[in-house]
Amino acid sequence: MGFVCNKQKEKIKMKKTLLVIKKGLFLGLIIQLAIGPIFFFIVNLSLQKTLLDGLMGVLAATVVTYIYIALSVFGIGKILEEEKFKKIFGMISSIVLIIFGGIIINGAINSGDIEIAVNTSNLFASFTSVFLLAISNPLSIVFFTSLFSAKAIEHNYTKNELYFFGFGTGLSTFIFMGGAILLVSFLKEAIPIIVMQILNIAVGVLIIGYGTIILKLTKRKNRLEK
């Protein structure tokens, strides 16, 4: 009798865990619909290089997502939410984004023969570039910390349940971006080289614009506090 009760408890616990993961996955997929510079950068990477390069970019974005989720769940995100850390992180990351965007534009404009660059795979560079771009987003840690705090209160999640919720949320990055990259790769042959070059420049401009906005917001906060 006790063995049967234990089995039933395990089943209920497993169902609850799967439900928490599904909730995290569903919420994560909704968040993914708000596509930003990183998404376009990975799409561009897939077009300029190979499908594997695009998937390495997706893997890098997923790893960064899980890093930020882990920081949020472990409570470290609360420390990073302090104004002095936000200012420093905001300034550094915005400058990194602007430089990153400039390098992309410069590469697109000065590429003597862009056709040679297309399909030239460099998996390590693809992973590293997306990782650096994704980790430079100062809003992610604040967003995930706020999100997980709200969900913990709303659903009365335990620490363990927050881990599973975070797992589902992070998994959505790989599923959504991975699916998009597969689709783009199938359509790649139909896209002219000049369009890829224009897309390269557009992605660079988008990243510079994003970095500039963050830099302005950080400077405005500093002025208001003075």
3-state secondary structure 180-208: HHHHHHHHHHHCCHHHHHHHHHHHHHHHH
In a domain, residue 89? The reply is: yes
In a domain, residue 51? The reply is: yes
- Taking the C-alpha atoms of residue 33 and residue 175, their distance in angstroms, rounded to an integer, is 12
pLDDT at 59 over 90: yes
In a domain, residue 105? The reply is: yes
Token pair, residue 142, equals 């604040």
**pLDDT confidence tier of residue 184, bands split at 50, 70 and 90:** confident
- Taking the C-alpha atoms of residue 51 and residue 118, their distance in angstroms, rounded to an integer, is 11
- Alpha-helical (H) ranges within 49-122 are 51-73, 76-80, 83-109, 114-117
Q: Give the number of domains in the chain.
A: 1
In a domain, residue 21? The reply is: no
Percent with pLDDT over 90 in the chain? 13
In a domain, residue 198? The reply is: yes
In a domain, residue 7? The reply is: no
In a domain, residue 78? The reply is: yes
In a domain, residue 63? The reply is: yes
For the whole model, what pTM was predicted? Answer: 0.71
Can you give the residue range of the structural domain that contains 53? 36-141+170-225
pLDDT at 42 over 80: yes
